[in-house]
Amino acid sequence: MRKPLLLGTRGSLLATTQSKWVANQLAGVEIKLEIIQTTGDDLSLSLMEPLQPGAFVNTLRSALIAGEVDFIVHSLKDLPSAPHPELALAAIPVREDHRDVLVSLNNLELDAIADGSIIGTSSPRRMATIKARYPGLIVAPIRGNIDSRIAKIRNGEYAGAILAAAGLNRIGRRADIAQYFEVTDILPAPAQGALAVECRADNTAMIALLSGIDDARTRMTSIAERGVLQGLNAGCDLAIGSFAYFNEDKVVLLAELGNPATGQNQKIRESTKIKSVSDFEAAYELGLLVASKFER
């Protein structure tokens, strides 16, 4: 009897939901989830700490390289921008909602929240944007999974928090969203809403299997967005947002580099012609071009 494939995942509701979704896309394949505790799950550590890149990623990758699991699933925005020499990004499935959203006390939108109120986010990108657009609000770090963050809002510890729409959608908490932010309001994190499915680079059979759930359009836009990170040699402490979309035979890339301390932001918009939705080199070069135009 053939053994089931082992899928490594963090133990949070969001992580296991994402992993189960990926498993369900692989029709006819028996898959077992293996829960792996990561350093990013330690709530005593700060997500603002620049010395801990890949806090949700490294332990999963170590288990994969050691052969403890056959493949792993991450939120693509959590992956370091540089590729891993021993691993293959075998699939980037179709993207969920890319937008940021507000969950707030009494379901108020940001414009209606009183100055001096506390908005929670542990993202330098979101912090910079909120400080720029809503200088009267206080921005403070917030930790925990989606459920615990929402609980901190409902009990009045925070007036609201900025979260990713994709996460709330995936765990069935869309009804908690008070406000959606379009890319003209807040640019999302590079590849926000997309998933990354990794396996060992020498496992050709697994690469072939996972490639069946790859979405070329999502991969294309994600490569462009993450190319900005690579061009800036960005870590998790950099306030960078980016979003790419198709416009006929072009890919358009919007990017913003913010300063969480001052709220001052630089915005860049560039586009490039593509040969097809698999012209990944052009997408990557577009990301590098945009990165080169920022003043640092």
Q: Is residue 228 within 8 Å of 290, Cβ to Cβ? A: yes
Which one is catalytic: 70, 78, 176, 279?
Answer: 78
Phi-psi region of 116 (alpha: psi -120 to 50; beta: other; left: phi over 0): left
Q: Cα 89–97–199 angle (5° rounding)?
A: 15
Measured from the Cβ of residue 65, the count of other Cβ atoms closer than 10 Å reads 14
Sign of CA dihedral 67, 90, 122, 152: negative
CB atoms under 10 Å from CB of 293, counted, come to: 14
Angle between helices 280-292 and 216-232 (to 10 degrees): 30
Q: Is 78 designated active site?
A: yes
Catalytic residues: 78
